[in-house]
Amino acid sequence: MIFHMKKQVLDFEKINRICGRLAYQILENNINEDEILLVGIKEKGYEIAKIIEQKLKDITSSKVHLKSITIDKKNPNQISEFDINFNQMPKSVYLVDDVLNTGKTLMFAVNSLLKYDFDLIKTLVLIDRNHKRYPIKVDFKGISLSTNLDDTVKLISENKNLEAVLV
């Protein structure tokens, strides 16, 4: 019998606090911008982006847009399109994911955004595991977590609250 224990890495309160700090970092990067676009990678990256969106709306008068993008990890070239329907195209886009493992998902997502004429594309992750295999740079990260290659870090929802666990 295989027994898997999960160890909590971040509880909802810590995730919320980290997202608040990330929101301030985004704002500092966009001090003169009227609009900011957050693109969350489905599923959990989008959940993190929603929290950051609310934090940004609490601290800025800039218009904050939230979109999602879906990447099929088995077929990463099949990326969902999102509706880019803005009165004025935001100059800055922040691509949000929950956990950076190898960097493959984030790399495909960045590639899909290149067809739009953004002045700035930045990447943001809640947890960077430091096991990148692809040349992708994370601009903003909540925490760095050193793990074994065999470990899995997941964001799970418990009673509508997110928590990060090591399995």
* Domain parsing of the chain, residue ranges: 7-166
Most confident of 4-8, 31-35, 43-47: 43-47
Beta-strand ranges (E) seen in the chain are 7-10, 35-41, 63-69, 92-100, 120-128, 140-144, 153-158, 161-166
Three-state DSSP class for 150?
Answer: coil
Rg of the chain in Å (alpha carbons): 16
**7-166: which CATH topology?**
Rossmann fold (3.40.50)
Most confident of 3-12, 39-48, 132-141: 39-48
Q: Looking at residues 101-121, what average pLDDT do you find?
A: 88
Q: Looking at residues 89-108, what average pLDDT do you find?
A: 90
- Residues 125, 155: contact at Cβ < 8 Å? no
36 beta partners? 64, 92
Q: Is 80 exceeded by the pLDDT of residue 77?
A: no
| Higher per-residue pLDDT: 84 or 21 | 21
Q: Cα–Cα distance between 100 and 28 in angstroms, integer?
A: 23
Q: Is 50 exceeded by the pLDDT of residue 3?
A: no
Position 86 scores a pLDDT of 58
| Higher per-residue pLDDT: 1 or 161 | 161
| Higher per-residue pLDDT: 127 or 135 | 127
Of the pLDDT bands very low, low, confident and very high (cuts 50, 70, 90), residue 162 is: confident
Three-state DSSP class for 138?
Answer: coil
SS3 content of the chain, % helix, strand, coil (to 5): 25, 35, 40
Of the pLDDT bands very low, low, confident and very high (cuts 50, 70, 90), residue 135 is: confident
Measured CA distances, 163 to 48, 56, 57 (Å): 11, 21, 23
Lowest mean pLDDT among 25-39, 76-90, 93-107, 118-132: 76-90
Q: Cα–Cα distance between 72 and 69 in angstroms, integer?
A: 10
